[in-house]
Structure 1
Amino acid sequence: MNSKFLIVFFKELRETLRDKRTLGMLALFTLLYPLIIGMTLHQLIDKSTKTEREGVDLAVIGASKAPTLMAQLGQRNITVKDTPPMNEDAIAELLRGKKVAAVLRLSDNFVEDYYAMRPARVEIWYDSAAESNAQRREVEDVLEAYGSNVTSARLLAHGVSPVAVMPIQVQRYDTGSNASRSAMLVGSIMGVLFLPAFMLTMSASVDTTAGERERRSLEVLMAQPAHTWELIGGKWLAAGILGVVGVTFELVLAHVMLKWLPLEEIGMSWSLGWGELALVCLATVPLSLLASALYVTLAMNSKTFKEAQTILSFAMIVPIIPGIVVSFLDLKTALWMYAVPMLSNQTLIKEMSKAGDAHALPLLLTFLCSAIPALLLVAYASWRMKSERYVLAV
């Protein structure tokens, strides 16, 4: 590798790392997304296991009228609190206190209707705005099971088999594994980890091009005995290496979190090993280099630092669009998706988390779909930099 290329590279990298504000933003973007993913999944696991862990508190008005029902509720870890009669306003006030998940009120003529084989009314009061929907569904499941048992007992008492009212019996067999079921959710969540490739490289790309132009230091650099590809290549690699390190650290941190979290509690799993993760990180390297190449090319074409920031802010949105479109249209995975930068990375990690292994063609396409445009952009920027009038915006 040419020594002048290395000189420019280390010079730009050293100047970028000297700025504490830039380092702070890099650290923030690197840690933010894995932490968000970890906290989101932790909250999901906590909510899903809260009912089993803490049980359900249920206020029942008229509990003595249905002792069998109360016993079935107790078997499902539902704590029945016998409550005296109260009107609608008092029930609403009790629910607002969030001390119970729901209120069950048996009608005054519940016993008479039950023995007369008429529908015995049971009211379930709940607050849909409260975070107790899962607990309420537990209560409703018990009520449905109780009703089914009573129906079967009444049919048998009349000499009718309960299967007579069941013309078909549906049996479900789920052949999907935890990995395949969780691939859509976890893979989509992991997809956001590739966005910082465009965030982490933007500051350095703008500062080493449009920023140096405003500070008039770009003229001094161009006066040195170096080829334009050495100048552009050094700036490009210095900005791109920040994205490579940041995204790689993000993926590793997210991988550690997903391995640590008890995803099995919500019927999910994270099947990627360290070897597969290394392949994903390798295939992701060109994405950061593509981002820095795009930013350097666009920033050189801007007349001011502020104009460059505005243009690059819009350019950062473009890689997100294919992923949004695919998600909105609910498209199935196809080979062409591996030819679209960033979408290819999201598709790759989603499919690998589902299958647990990597195929050579998707990895190669993911690598090349970002590497080739990155090299072409660097070559174009190097060619354009030969024009002093273009670079200095005169």
Structure 2
Amino acid sequence: MKPKFLIVFLKELREALRDKRTLGLLALFTVMYPVMIGYLLNQSINRATKPERDGVEIAVIGASQAPTLMSQLKQRNINVKNQAPLDEEGITKLLQARTYPVVLRVSDKFTENYAAMRPARIELWFDSSDESGKRRREVEDVLEAYSANVAGARLLAHGVSPATLAPIQVQRFDTGTNASRSAGLIGSLLGILFLPVFICGMSTAVDSTAGERERRSMEVLMAQPARAWELVVGKWLTAGCLAIAGITLELALAHAILSWLPLEEIGMSWSLNWGDLALLIVATIPLCLFASGMQVALAMNAKSFKEAQSVLSFVTLVPLIPGVVVSMMELKTATWMYMVPMLSNQTLLREMTKGDVGILPFVMTFSCSALVALLAVGFASWRMKSERYVLAV
């Protein structure tokens, strides 16, 4: 004979699967976030690699005054477009049209001052509100290199070594890896992927508690030879299974998209494999059960179906607060973070993108949510025994 909680679970799951509209919305919600993250990262990759593919195109006023500089710009894949003389208003309009990221205006006296070894002025015009900082820096690098070459040649002409201008030589060594650089960004992006844990099973949790009580089917169910905890566990497992299915689909889709994207083009990487993903999903199962247990317990405490929906819609945002606070305060990973539901999963994912995290973070992440889930189910079982709950008084 089947356990009674399993009979209740199968009954609730069958009813949940009959609601095609709700399942369709949940599937859309589950797929939406990975696709959105993949699209945003793909757009970032395209913006970052476009200058390398197409080159940087700038407008130069008075290009004939500095032919050597123009040659150096072209050598760095910076296309120079000769522009007729413009005043400040005309240059501003040209930049606001987003036609060029940078406008260079060479002084009319550039050649004269250059020949006389006086500072020759070049004006660099740009719009700081435009997302073209990388292309502007490429132009600035060429201008600085050109200025240094001219200064060095002049010093040599006077018998002075150019090394005199650089008494200190700074060498920079970056020990950061693509994984460590991308862990923070990817961790913050994917942290929101755990949100469906609190959404996929919410509709079922509310309908099987507050909904059944309003329809007066709860009284019929409680008249059956089953104890309160068996009824609660069956409803709890139904909502938990939907949450597990949603998060599994979402993480698998996100993994497939991130593995396909050329993140190396923007100095990032996605180092997880399918085995790591399976471990992450296993560690997330208690979070799904915690979410469904909390929703069942809170829905039982609500006086109506509408009130239960309103309360759970607000409570769903509460588990996101620790992750947001940690991100805003830029706190380093600490052991206590693995003891906070939701935050522990976000921290675990972020650390897994950096490399091996060991077994302890998995155990702590699994245990903290599992313990709270059991407490929530225990409270819901106690609430189910109350006549005030059944009679909605």
Q: Same fold (TM over 0.5)?
A: yes
Shift of 1:87: 2.2
Does 2:293 match 1:289?
A: no
Q: Summarize the alignment of residues 140-179 of structure 1 with structure 2, pairs less than 5 Å apart.
A: 140-179=140-179
Distance 2:111 2:289 in 1: 75
Report what 1:7 is aligned to: 7
Q: Summarize the alignment of residues 106-117 of structure 1 with structure 2, pairs less than 5 Å apart.
A: 106-117=106-117
- The Cα offsets for residues 271-307 of structure 1, whole Å up to 9 and x where unpaired, read as 1111111100100011111000000000001101111
Say whether the 8 Å CA contact 1:102–1:124 is kept in structure 2.
Answer: yes
2:215 is aligned with what amino acid?
Answer: R
- The Cα offsets for residues 54-100 of structure 1, whole Å up to 9 and x where unpaired, read as 11111111111111100110011111112222222332333344332
Distance 2:364 2:169 in 1: 47
Report what 1:99 is aligned to: 99
9-18 vs 227-236, which deviates more?
Answer: 9-18
Say whether the 8 Å CA contact 1:5–1:234 is kept in structure 2.
Answer: yes
Matched pairs, number: 393
Distance 1:172 1:96 in 2: 36
Report what 1:386 is aligned to: 385
Shift of 1:348: 0.5
Shift of 1:218: 0.9
Report what 2:57 is aligned to: 57
Q: Summarize the alignment of residues 153-302 of structure 1 with structure 2, pairs less than 5 Å apart.
A: 153-302=153-302
Secondary structure, counterpart of 1:195 in structure 2:
helix
Say whether the 8 Å CA contact 2:65–2:108 is kept in structure 1.
Answer: no
Report what 1:373 is aligned to: 372
Secondary structure, counterpart of 1:160 in structure 2:
coil
Shift of 1:2: 4.5
Q: Summarize the alignment of residues 20-59 of structure 1 with structure 2, pairs less than 5 Å apart.
A: 20-59=20-59
Q: Which runs of 5+ in 1 are unaligned?
A: none
**RMSD across aligned positions (CA):** 1.5
Distance 2:96 2:180 in 1: 40
Distance 2:36 2:271 in 1: 20
Report what 1:361 is aligned to: 360
TM-score norm. by structure 1 comes to: 0.96
Report what 1:133 is aligned to: 133
Distance 1:179 1:348 in 2: 14
Shift of 1:388: 1.8
Say whether the 8 Å CA contact 1:301–1:391 is kept in structure 2.
Answer: no
Say whether the 8 Å CA contact 1:276–1:358 is kept in structure 2.
Answer: no
1:366 is aligned with what amino acid?
Answer: T
Say whether the 8 Å CA contact 2:59–2:104 is kept in structure 1.
Answer: yes
Q: Percent identity?
A: 66
Q: Which runs of 5+ in 2 are unaligned?
A: none
Distance 2:249 2:344 in 1: 19
2:282 is aligned with what amino acid?
Answer: L
Secondary structure, counterpart of 2:59 in structure 1:
strand
Say whether the 8 Å CA contact 1:187–1:349 is kept in structure 2.
Answer: yes
Distance 1:267 1:97 in 2: 30
94-103 vs 363-372, which deviates more?
Answer: 94-103
Secondary structure, counterpart of 2:354 in structure 1:
helix
Say whether the 8 Å CA contact 1:111–1:120 is kept in structure 2.
Answer: yes
Report what 2:78 is aligned to: 78
2:162 is aligned with what amino acid?
Answer: P
